[in-house]
Chains A and B, each alone.
Chain A
Amino acid sequence: MYHKRYVIPLILVFLIGFFTPYWYNAMAGSFGYEPELKKPAGECVEDAKWMASNHMLLLQQWRTQGIRSAAEGGKIYHSFTTGKEFYITINDCWSCHTDKKEFCDQCHDYIGIHPECWDCHYTPDIEKPHYEGIDGLSKYFS
């Protein structure tokens, strides 16, 4: 190896710089962020641990099969942990995880991820009255 005297120290300097966040967190004692999530009420579609790391895969698959194959029964999902049948709708998530701020945002904000799902999909944060169904329209036509 040529110029060992320069190359090896420079590599070391680079590595120290590259891993600064780790050194910083290790020294500050905040290594390994553990979010305090609000405990959901019911049982999840899949195993809770699996969901923690793979919920985005599940939602992506639901998105694809729930729209693209909806006519063939793509909205029916069979859980591979419990074997139970679920009808695909994102509102089912909100029936247990009632608070977006105290559940979803805890991790997403920390790692700086902003899912675009909630640009369109309903969340409990939307402070607008709910549609009451066809029967509620009688106030317009009476």
Chain B
Amino acid sequence: MMSRRKFLILTGAVAAGAILPAQISAKTQFVETAEEVRAKRRWAMAVDVSKCTECVKELVAKTGNPEVKPPCVVACDRENNVPEFEDKRIDPQWMRIAKLKLNKPSVNPEEFYIPLLCNHCEHPPCVQVCLTQASFQRPDGIVVVDIHRCIGCRYCMIACPYGARSFNFRDPMEGLKEVNPEVPMRAEGVVEKCTFCAHRVDKAVAEGKEPVPACVEACHLYGKGALTFGNIKDPNSKVSQILRDNLAVQLRANLGTDPHVFYLKLGGE
């Protein structure tokens, strides 16, 4: 007869075994280690503000609509299945165009337009506050939301100094006219944001090509080519060269988040 002590130990062991997550293999090492990736790749974007302003001004003049969506925003919405709702308060946006004016007329007296998107900070406040670690920073610098983990608490939206994140108040399927199978849609009750087109980046890196996000591709195809995307760890990449040759401005740099979307030629030159 089994003693009570032995029976309890056995039951406990079986229960512990059942709780352990089942997985196929314990392999955690992939093509590269996180340290290797960190040393090799860091994605960043450079925005030429004068070209961007030129493009948006032209579009506004042509359509007569001050809220017209330029090619980059349309491409982003379609590529990433970002829904469109009539109610502006609940309409998720990954990329938007802001009309600004410097309060230093000596530098640039004109109004200008800049795209606002997730800045993929080096020290992202949204990741620090995430309760479930759904938001995280990949070793190549891209900040992603793991939608499977997101509980929709919206702390990250409060923490983000750039307002780059949107909450899905309604099922995005209602607001989608067409669907891109490459990118998952989101469900009601999760936070979403720009991923620097991580699906394109991963595919391009696996194939050994230069990654191009949808907004950048559309900007060069239909716009004035204001956006440049690339790896700033590579000194010969186009972004590195542009950042060396120009004075780059980061948004709200005083907060110490070290954003990696750089704005050039704010002086309107």
A residues with CB within 8 A of B: 54, 57-58, 60-61, 63, 65, 67-76, 80, 87, 89-91, 94, 116, 119-122, 126, 128-131, 134-135, 137-138, 140-141
Most buried by B among A61, A72, A94, A135: A72
- Tell me whether B75 and A71 are in contact (CB under 8 A): no
A58, A72, A91: the one contacting B34 at CB < 8 Å is A72
- Tell me whether B30 and A74 are in contact (CB under 8 A): yes
- Tell me whether A121 and B184 are in contact (CB under 8 A): yes
**Given A72-B36, A116-B187, A131-B180, list of 17 further CB < 8 A pairs?**
A65-B30, A67-B146, A71-B34, A71-B41, A71-B139, A72-B30, A72-B31, A72-B37, A73-B206, A75-B206, A80-B25, A87-B203, A122-B185, A129-B177, A130-B178, A134-B75, A141-B74
A69 and B78 CA atoms in complex are apart in Å by 26
Shortest beta-carbon distance from A110 to chain B in Å: 22
Total interface residues on B, CB under 8 Å, equals 49
Shortest beta-carbon distance from A54 to chain B in Å: 8
6 tightest CB-CB pairs across the interface, nearest first? Answer: A73-B31, A131-B180, A71-B138, A122-B181, A141-B222, A73-B30
Check B23 for interface membership: any CB of A closer than 8 A.
yes
B residues with CB within 8 A of A: 22-25, 28, 30-34, 36-37, 41, 71, 74-75, 78-79, 136, 138-140, 142, 144, 146-148, 173, 176-182, 184-187, 198, 202-203, 205-206, 214, 217-218, 221-222
A139 and B31 CA atoms in complex are apart in Å by 41
Q: Contacts of B147 on A, CB cut-off 8 Å?
A: 120
Shortest beta-carbon distance from B171 to chain A in Å: 8
Shortest beta-carbon distance from A119 to chain B in Å: 4
- Tell me whether A61 and B218 are in contact (CB under 8 A): no
B interface SS class: loop
Considering the complex, give the chain A residue whose CB is closest to the CB of B69.
Answer: A140
- Tell me whether A76 and B30 are in contact (CB under 8 A): yes
Given A130-B179, A131-B180, answer yes or no on A70-B146 (Cβ-Cβ < 8 Å): no
Q: Contacts of A57 on B, CB cut-off 8 Å?
A: 22-24
A67, A76, A128: the one contacting B31 at CB < 8 Å is A76
Given A63-B148, A137-B222, answer yes or no on A72-B32 (Cβ-Cβ < 8 Å): yes
Q: Contacts of B214 on A, CB cut-off 8 Å?
A: 134
13 contacts between A and B (CB under 8 A): A65-B30, A70-B144, A71-B139, A72-B30, A72-B33, A72-B37, A73-B31, A73-B205, A91-B182, A121-B185, A128-B176, A131-B178, A141-B74
